Amino acid sequence: MERIDVSILGRDYSLACAAPEKQALLEAVHLVDQRMLRVKGSGKISSNERIAVMAAIQIAAEMLAMRAPDGPLGDVAVGDFKRRIDDMNHMIDQALGQGGARAAS
């Protein structure tokens, strides 16, 4: 695990993540920080806790809006598609690995 120091809404945090996940985590931190700054900039909310909750609700609403359009997969989120594709790729890799082992014997 790698330790990274980040700042969100002017507060410093120390986070741990696996090296391959570092860039995604930094992008997530940037998104959260920018969203919280926007909520704070609206001037309607002053407490950091409320700013964080409003930012989280906005981000969650955007993620839920990214679901597939109407149809047989209308209730499947984009992240679920990615997970399913990753699972299928893993299964294919395993099958190819087993098939290659059979062909060699």
Helix ranges, 1-105 (H): 22-41, 48-65, 78-104
Helix (H) or strand (E) holding 55: helix 48-65
Tokens of 68: 């597939």
Q: For 21-46, how does the pLDDT look when each residue is reduced to its tens digit (9 = 90+)?
A: 999 999 999 999 999 999 999 988 88
Residue with tokens 């950091």: 48
Of 27-31, 61-65, 75-79, give the lowest mean pLDDT range: 75-79
The type of residue at 69 is P
Contacts of 5 (CB under 8 A, 6+ apart): 12, 13, 14, 15
> Looking at per-residue confidence, does 50 or 71 come out higher?
50
Bridge partners, 14 (sequence order): 5
